Amino acid sequence: MFNRRSFLAASAAWTLAGCSVQTASPPPPARVEPVMLVPKSPEIFPIEAVDLTRIDRKFWRQIVPDPTGEPAGTIVVDPDACFLWLVMEGGEAMRYGVGVGRDGFGWDGTATIARKAEWPTWTPPREMIAREPELIEWAKGMPGGPENPLGARALYLYQNGHDTLYRIHGTNEAWSIGRSVSSGCIRLLNAEVIDLYDRVPRGSRVVVRPSRGGAVA
């Protein structure tokens, strides 16, 4: 017999059942496994592994169809796209993501890699010291190491036999890849500049395209 007590018990069960549906927790978000970039061999100074999942995938090193039309062995930099291509045989190129010079600090033209250095010394130009007087400490050069702004490798760009003062170099600031942040130089992740350094000899031709101001500041 369905009496008042049975009705109340049934109502309570229905209410609890309804609440359990309405307050169900959403499933946890899918966990993205890190993709770690590390140097291919030990270095004299430590290089921190970089979680590439924190960088837009288009800036990961990859082989792509060559968009430059330049001879194999040429380096081409597009500062607006924040890409550096090393032209390869067979119509392909190795593409790297880079950070580039912010407005007013860029350089463009054709140059030659006249010098290469591992864990290079960094000497700020007089103009930079004038803007940032605290850099006077390094007027005679900062030794190579993890805190050095040139990172693990540097390729020195010369034009008509003269140093342009612009470099292709390493950085441990992963956030700067794909952005316009530097004082004109082209920066790659340390593990990436090591890879590029090993691929290009002295005398290699470098083409830096003019900027139209398209890079993210």
Side by side, which strands form the sheet with 186-189? 62-65, 92-97, 83-87, 75-78, 205-208, 109-118, 153-159, 162-171, 186-189
Phi/psi of residue 199, nearest 5 degrees? -95, -25
Catalytic option among 19, 82, 162, 185: 185
Does residue 162 have an active-site annotation?
Answer: no
**Tokens standing for 78?**
């597009």
Cα–Cα distance measured from residue 100 to residue 59, given in angstroms and rounded to the nearest whole number: 13
**Which among 91, 88, 110, 111 has a CA at the least distance from the CA of 196?**
88
Catalytic option among 19, 82, 162, 169: 169
Catalytic residues: 169, 185
